C-alpha cells in the first residue's frame, strides 16, 4: 500500500471538474502538500476555493505543453494525478491541438515524473477508446474501436504510460472514465450536457431537448466516486493496468429526464426531440468488476442520489 499521509501530491488539471474533486478527497488523506497544476482555461479558482483554505493546497498556474513549467512544479513530488486534457469536441475541431495537449502534454508529464523521481501516477483515460461497443457491459478486454481524435489521443496516452513503465519503472494506473457527472461539471460536455440542458429547461418551464429518440444510454458515475477510485488506485500496489471507472448501470437519456422531472417536481414537462450527432456513441455500459477485484473500488452513489447533489450545486451556482 502507498501511504498518502505526509506526502506531496501534484494534480494536473486540479482546478477542473474531476481534478478539483480529487483534491477535495485528497485533503482528507492528510498529505503534506497538494499542488494544483492548471492553466485555468477550463479549470477555475472557484472550483478549489474551499480546498485552498485547507492550508495544504497550492495553486501553480502552468501548462502541460511546457516542460519547464512541469519540471519546476514537480520538484519534490511523491505522487501525481494527471487529469489535464482537451475535451472531446475541442479535439474534433482542432486535432493538431489535441495531439499537442493530450499526447505531447502527457509525454511531458510522464517525463517530468521520471526526472523528479515520482513513485506513481494515476491518469485519466476515457471509455472513448472503446468507440462503439461490440458487447456490453464493456470490460477492459474490449478492443480499441475508436474513430475520434479524442479517443485516439487517449489510446496513445495509455501506450505512453506502458512505455514509461517498461523503460523507467514508473508505476501507473489509467482510468477509462465512463460518463462522469456531478457538481462543477462542464456545461458544454458532449455527453453530459444533457443533464444541464434538462435542468435549465425545466427550471425555465421550457421543453427539454432530447437529441435522438431518448434511447441512447450512459453509464453515469458520480464524480465523488471517481475521486475515490483515483485515490484507491494510488494507494494500491497495482501498476501497469487500465480500469473502467464505471457504475455498471445503464441509464437512457429518457430515464435521465424522467429522474430530473421527479426531483424537480415538473411532471407537466414535455420534451422536444431533435436529431442526434451521429459521431457520438449511442450506448455506454461499462463493466466495473476488474476495478473492484484489483483495487477494491466500487461506485456507491446512485444516479438519483447524484442528481440530487447536482441540483443542490446548480441552485447555488445560479446565485
Please list the rounded mean pLDDT of every run of 10 residues in the chain (319 residues). Answer: 97 98 98 98 96 98 98 98 95 97 98 98 98 97 96 98 98 98 79 83 93 94 98 98 98 96 95 86 95 98 97 89
| Three-class secondary structure of residue 276 per DSSP | coil
User: pLDDT digits over 139-172, tens only?
Assistant: 999 999 999 999 999 999 999 999 999 999 999 9
Report how far residue 93's alpha carbon sits from residue 81's, in angstroms, rounded to the nearest whole number. 27
CA atoms of 36 and 23, how far apart (whole Å): 8
DSSP of 107-176, one letter per residue? HHHHHHHHHHT--EEEEEEEGGGG-S-SSSSB-TTSPP---SHHHHHHHHHHHHHHHHHHHH--EEEEEE
* pLDDT of the residue at 189: 60
Residue 248: left (phi > 0), alpha (psi -120 to 50), or beta?
A: left
Cell numbers for 82, please give them: 494527471
**What are the angstrom distances between the C-alpha of 9 and each of 21, 37, 46, 270?**
14, 10, 20, 48
Residue range 95-137, pLDDT digits in tens: 999 999 999 999 999 999 999 999 999 999 999 999 999 999 9
Task: Judge contact between 299 and 225, C-beta under 8 A.
Answer: yes
At 277 the pLDDT is 80
Alpha helix ranges (H) inside the chain: 17-27, 49-52, 67-74, 88-93, 95-98, 105-116, 149-168, 193-203, 223-235, 253-263, 289-295, 303-317
- Please return the burial class of 294, using the count of CB atoms within 10 Å of its CB with bins 0-12, 13-18 and 19+: middle
**159 near 289, Cβ under 8 Å?**
no
CA angle (230 as vertex; 293, 237 as ends), nearest 5: 55
Identified catalytic residue from 79, 130, 150, 222: 150
* Domain topology for 8-130+139-181+221-246+288-299: Rossmann fold (3.40.50)
Reported pTM: 0.97
Residue 167: how many other CB atoms lie within 10 Å: 9
User: Closest by alpha carbon to 33, among 64, 10, 61, 63?
Assistant: 10
Give the residue extent of every domain in the chain: 8-130+139-181+221-246+288-299
**Cell 458487447 belongs to which residue?**
135
Query: Is 150 considered catalytic here?
Result: yes
Pairing of strands 217-218, 251-252: antiparallel
Q: Return the pLDDT at 82.
A: 99
pLDDT at 194: 87
Give the 3-state secondary structure of residue 286: strand
Nearest to 141 by CA among 318, 4, 289: 289
Please say whether the beta carbons of 39 and 61 come within 8 A: yes
Amino acid at each position: 500500500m502507498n501511504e498518502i499521509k505526509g506526502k506531496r501530491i501534484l494534480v494536473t488539471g486540479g482546478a477542473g471538474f474531476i481534478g478539483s474533486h480529487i483534491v477535495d478527497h485528497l485533503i482528507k488523506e492528510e498529505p503534506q502538500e497538494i499542488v494544483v497544476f492548471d492553466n485555468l482555461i477550463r479549470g477555475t479558482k472557484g472550483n478549489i476555493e474551499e480546498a485552498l483554505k485547507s492550508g495544504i493546497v497550492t495553486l501553480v498556474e502552468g501548462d502541460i505543453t511546457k516542460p519547464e513549467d512541469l519540471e519546476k512544479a514537480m520538484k519534490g513530488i511523491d505522487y501525481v494525478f494527471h487529469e489535464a486534457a482537451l475535451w472531446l469536441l475541442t479535439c474534433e475541431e482542432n486535432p493538431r491541438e489535441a495531439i499537442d495537449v493530450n499526447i505531447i502534454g502527457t509525454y511531458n508529464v510522464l517525463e517530468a515524473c521520471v526526472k523528479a523521481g515520482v513513485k506513481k501516477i494515476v491518469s485519466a483515460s476515457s471509455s472513448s477508446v472503446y468507440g462503439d461497443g461490440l458487447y456490453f457491459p464493456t470490460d477492459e478486454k474490449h478492443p480499441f474501436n475508436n474513430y475520434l481524435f479524442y479517443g485516439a489521443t487517449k489510446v496513445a496516452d495509455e501506450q505512453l504510460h506502458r512505455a514509461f513503465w517498461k523503460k523507467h519503472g514508473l508505476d501507473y494506473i489509467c482510468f477509462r472514465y465512463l460518463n462522469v457527472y456531478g457538481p462543477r461539471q462542464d456545461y458544454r460536455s458532449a455527453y453530459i450536457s444533457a443533464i444541464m440542458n434538462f435542468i435549465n429547461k425545466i427550471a425555465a418551464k421550457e421543453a427539454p431537448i432530447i437529441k435522438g429518440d431518448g434511447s441512447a444510454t450512459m453509464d453515469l458515475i458520480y464524480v465523488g466516486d471517481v475521486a475515490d477510485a483515483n485515490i484507491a488506485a494510488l494507494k494500491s500496489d497495482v501498476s501497469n493496468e487500465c480500469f473502467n471507472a464505471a457504475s455498471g448501470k445503464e441509464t437512457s437519456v429518457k430515464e435521465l429526464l424522467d429522474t430530473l422531472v421527479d426531483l424537480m417536481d415538473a411532471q407537466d414537462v414535455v420534451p422536444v426531440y431533435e436529431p442526434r450527432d451521429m459521431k457520438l456513441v449511442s450506448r455506454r455500459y461499462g463493466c466495473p468488476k476488474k476495478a473492484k477485484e484489483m483495487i477494491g473500488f466500487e461506485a456507491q452513489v446512485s444516479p438519483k442520489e447524484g442528481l440530487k447533489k447536482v441540483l443542490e450545486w446548480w441552485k447555488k451556482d445560479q446565485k
